[in-house]
Structure 1
């Protein structure tokens, strides 16, 4: 396992996974995070990833009781994907839920800790109890910094390092996964222009990696791909815009087009976005790099005349992003 992309079980993400090359699929274990608007689509994405391992967790915005949670677990049993699932638990989860997860999981569990949770005054006590009650060799630890930018990077690095330094028998965990994301919750960028946003995930990860390497621990990289970690709720009447979020090693290239109402998804407008990525970014990987890159290039060259829709552009951006991260991590020194 090289990479853990955090996905929300949406249709565009499902298609992005389906279109990945097999050698890329072999190196990732996605974390499927069920959000309020994707709880009914959970089975779709797990079927698209059948016979491959995945993590399973609930987004903080999805507040459901144990009974509803167990219904999701039962869906995994019915869909015959339970043998592929690694459920994630949090220190705030009650004992009944954790006991059920441990009972049904054939792959152990993941203990997921967000930096927001670290501020809870009861965290240290609850986390210590959780570590004592679980066999760490059958547990993965996911430390999740969530959103990071230039203002919060050093603080998040300090918080994660401090947390790791207080965990006894740290090397006993099966895996340690470091997650974060740099995409802001709102893309306040000029329309019909190519802009870049610096990526901070690599900087945070490499800092934590250097701290863990002397302990004989090689952490695993995770990110929120092309999305912000928070839950986006679509409100009827909201004007959605065509956009391309094209990842490079150290930045995201963003092309935000017009709203759909103003023709943002007309082929000539989509073509302008594809031209910007290919001709202006300086980081286009070529049509053979991934299915997503092929889709961009085919519109640029006129091979494809259909503009696609918002869902298909999520698939294109996501597919490129995951392929890029596997490529970068595979060639890491």
Structure 2
């Protein structure tokens, strides 16, 4: 099993909808509903079940339930629009008792508790966790531990911290499953050279493999943020969005930064040129690898006459990434 964390945007939902049945059978996605979608009463939320049909998924509203402007009824109104008999609600330690109780009543598939390593290492964690565990059956709960952003120069520290945090959690062996998520995708492409592919070290798999070896008595499930950064926003305020390609490989992210939309970054000739470069790159995995790869190949060889939008390109990147991760994890388990 693999847990991709998605922002529940249209491109990502289309990316998972186009996965093969075999790949879909091996993932349990976590959909994050951003704060602005929770608090903006005029913003419509399309159910993830329109793209992820008849399959379980984690449903996480990343909201601060203690904020003054937070509306409990608004929260559950939006939750009910997305909730289904396949949803596994995600709890946070800052959720009030009222929120937790109402979420428990809405779940048909158990629960998930999502915590950061910083929260686990906090001196009040055991007391807060104790209150949570009194009301929520741990045996029916997934534990999701979010390590956050990884850096190459502090990777050993991140592994050491995560190991210590996990081992300090009470009732660890009683959880239904333990999921560990991390992120090394860049927050912004600012400063990247344009019109060429750049390799960025992909640290999530290295982190997961080394942590798993150090916690060999636990069956840890791998999780990451696909081709997104773990923060809510990826662009610096004032930046113009650019056409880009996000392509996952064994040890790196292969990233292409094109022109901004105002400078015709999505014009077919510009997108086609980038796709042609990717298809000739030694790390390209071929048109039959995934739906995303197939679409890239069609654009490269002009089998279509449109280059797509930023949304469709997020779908291609997400689809390829999840396919790659399922294949990589399956190969590791077979070896």
Instruction: Name the TM-score, length of structure 2 as normaliser.
Output: 0.91
Change (3 A) 1:119 1:276: farther
Aligned to 1:73: 79
Q: Separation in 2 of the partners of 1:139 and 1:300?
A: 45
Preserved contact between residue 242 and residue 257 of structure 2 (Cα < 8 Å): yes
Change (3 A) 1:293 1:61: farther
Preserved contact between residue 147 and residue 184 of structure 1 (Cα < 8 Å): no
Aligned to 2:271: 270
Alignment of 1:132-281 (within 5 A): 132-188=134-190, 189-213=192-216, 215=217, 217-232=218-233, 238-280=239-281
Q: Separation in 1 of the partners of 2:179 and 2:2?
A: 9
Gaps of 5+ in 2: none
Gaps of 5+ in 1: none
Superposed displacement of residue 61, structure 1: 7.8
Alignment of 1:286-305 (within 5 A): 286-305=286-305
Q: Separation in 1 of the partners of 2:161 and 2:132?
A: 20
State whether structure 2 residue 8 is matched by structure 1 residue 5: no
Preserved contact between residue 239 and residue 259 of structure 1 (Cα < 8 Å): yes
Aligned to 1:32: 31
Preserved contact between residue 9 and residue 38 of structure 1 (Cα < 8 Å): no
Q: Separation in 2 of the partners of 1:59 and 1:73?
A: 12
Task: For residue 177 of structure 1, give the secondary structure of its aligned residue in structure 2.
Answer: strand
Preserved contact between residue 14 and residue 44 of structure 1 (Cα < 8 Å): no
Superposed displacement of residue 238, structure 1: 4.4
Change (3 A) 1:60 1:101: closer
Task: For residue 303 of structure 2, give the secondary structure of its aligned residue in structure 1.
Answer: coil
Preserved contact between residue 147 and residue 181 of structure 1 (Cα < 8 Å): yes
Superposed displacement of residue 154, structure 1: 2.0
Preserved contact between residue 255 and residue 276 of structure 1 (Cα < 8 Å): no
Q: Give the aligned CA root-mean-square deviation in angstroms.
A: 2.1
Q: Separation in 2 of the partners of 1:233 and 1:247?
A: 18
Preserved contact between residue 53 and residue 85 of structure 1 (Cα < 8 Å): yes
Q: Separation in 2 of the partners of 1:322 and 1:70?
A: 30
Change (3 A) 1:120 1:166: closer
Residues 228-284 of structure 1 show CA distances to partners (whole Å, capped at 9, x for unaligned) of 11112879974110000100121100000011111211112112221222223x221
Matched pairs, number = 325
Task: For residue 223 of structure 2, give the secondary structure of its aligned residue in structure 1.
Answer: strand
Preserved contact between residue 187 and residue 235 of structure 2 (Cα < 8 Å): no
Superposed displacement of residue 131, structure 1: 3.1
Superposed displacement of residue 178, structure 1: 0.7
Preserved contact between residue 253 and residue 277 of structure 1 (Cα < 8 Å): no
Q: Separation in 1 of the partners of 2:168 and 2:202?
A: 28
Task: For residue 255 of structure 1, give the secondary structure of its aligned residue in structure 2.
Answer: strand
